[in-house]
Amino acid sequence: MRRHRNRGHFDPFRSTHLRGVGVCAIAALLVYAAGCGTTRSTDTSRTATEQLLISDSIDRTVQQINLRALAGQSVYLDETYLTGIVDRAYLSSTLRQHMLASGCILASSRDKAEYIVEARAGAVGTNHHELLFGIPAVNLPSVVGLTIGVPTSIPEVPIVKRTDRRGVTKLAVYAYHRESGAPIWQSGIAVDRSTAKDTWVLGAGPFQRGTIHQGYEFAGSKIPIPLGDKSSKPGEGPVAIQDEHTFLQSPSSPILLPPIRQAEAPASAEDGDEETTTK
């Protein structure tokens, strides 16, 4: 019996298999040579928008309080009734800065102050509401035996969507004489709010505006829209919290600091002649 050998026979299946193995090996080498990386993104427990809304509303509310009645007096800020509110440290520091800007002298302790200033907060927080023109997201009821390949919900299809968020601060401050407890001054109720408004139109957005934004923004980028000059005119009153200012000592201020030296005018020749003549 003669054995037949097909030395020159071509096997297409074996050739295809070898090419596939070669391609996989080359791809693995390329992946190994290029390397790989992982990007990890995290968010803080409180969003930046929430913190900006609260801090902006605090700035606006404190700015309403006129502390000029205590200018030049030694005062101590009692923070007892601010315990438990959101961002207490920021509110306390803003009040202290505003007191300094109004001309008050901050005492390091209660016993060293002539007057006690107490502050209380009726509200420091945020709220929001949404408005949607379109089809809201809907969860579909599940049917036994038909769950495979069938969507369980319909996504939101907005035509126009708007989100309005606000930060609100309500504050009151009053002062009394430390030793006698006699009432000296009260601010009344100061309330102000900050805003952040986002709008989507046919899926494009968000178009952002509000007190925490610098003009109009689109997805975080500023949109140059000329709205006219709304800058306030300089005038008398407390120094704005957001403005830089250098405080100089007033001649009538009781602050125990070295007086600011001013350049003396040189004596004129006529004065010297008069002194000589007098002598």
Q: How confident is the model at residue 261 (pLDDT cuts 50, 70, 90)?
A: very low
Of 56-65, 106-115, 251-260, the least confident: 251-260
Contact assessment for residue 95 and residue 238, using Cβ atoms and an 8 Å cutoff: no
- Spatial separation of the C-alpha atoms in residues 38 and 41, rounded to whole Å: 10
Structure confidence at residue 180 (pLDDT): 93
- Spatial separation of the C-alpha atoms in residues 46 and 126, rounded to whole Å: 12
**Residue 111 covered by a domain:** yes
**Residue 247 covered by a domain:** no
Contact assessment for residue 81 and residue 119, using Cβ atoms and an 8 Å cutoff: yes
The pLDDT > 70 percentage for the chain reads: 62
- Spatial separation of the C-alpha atoms in residues 161 and 198, rounded to whole Å: 8
Q: Residues 162-172: pLDDT tens digits?
A: 999 999 999 99
**Residue 66 covered by a domain:** yes
Q: How confident is the model at residue 174 (pLDDT cuts 50, 70, 90)?
A: very high
CATH number of the domain where residue 219 is located: 3.30.160
- Spatial separation of the C-alpha atoms in residues 241 and 232, rounded to whole Å: 14
**Residue 38 covered by a domain:** no
Helices (H) and strands (E) in the chain, counts: 4, 10
The verdict on pTM exceeding 0.75 is: no
Letter string b/e over residues 54-72, b meaning 16 or more CB atoms within 10 A of that residue's CB: bbbbbbbbbbebebeebee
What average pLDDT does this structure show over 191-218?
89
Residue ranges of alpha helices (H) inside the chain are: 12-34, 48-64, 88-101, 269-278
Mean pLDDT score of the chain, rounded to an integer? 78
Q: 104 is in which domain, residue-wise?
A: 48-138+153-223
Does the bond joining 238 to the residue before it have cis omega, within 30 degrees of 0?
no
- The number of folded domains in the chain is 1
Q: How confident is the model at residue 191 (pLDDT cuts 50, 70, 90)?
A: very high
Q: 99 or 29: whose pLDDT is higher? A: 99
**Residue 9 covered by a domain:** no
Structure confidence at residue 18 (pLDDT): 54
Closest CA to 124 of 90, 173, 77: 90
Judged against a pLDDT cut of 90, whether residue 100 lies above it is answered with yes
Q: How confident is the model at residue 140 (pLDDT cuts 50, 70, 90)?
A: confident
Structure confidence at residue 276 (pLDDT): 45
- Spatial separation of the C-alpha atoms in residues 245 and 239, rounded to whole Å: 7
Q: Residues 38-73: pLDDT tens digits?
A: 667 778 899 999 999 999 999 999 999 999 999 999
**Residue 88 covered by a domain:** yes
**Residue 180 covered by a domain:** yes
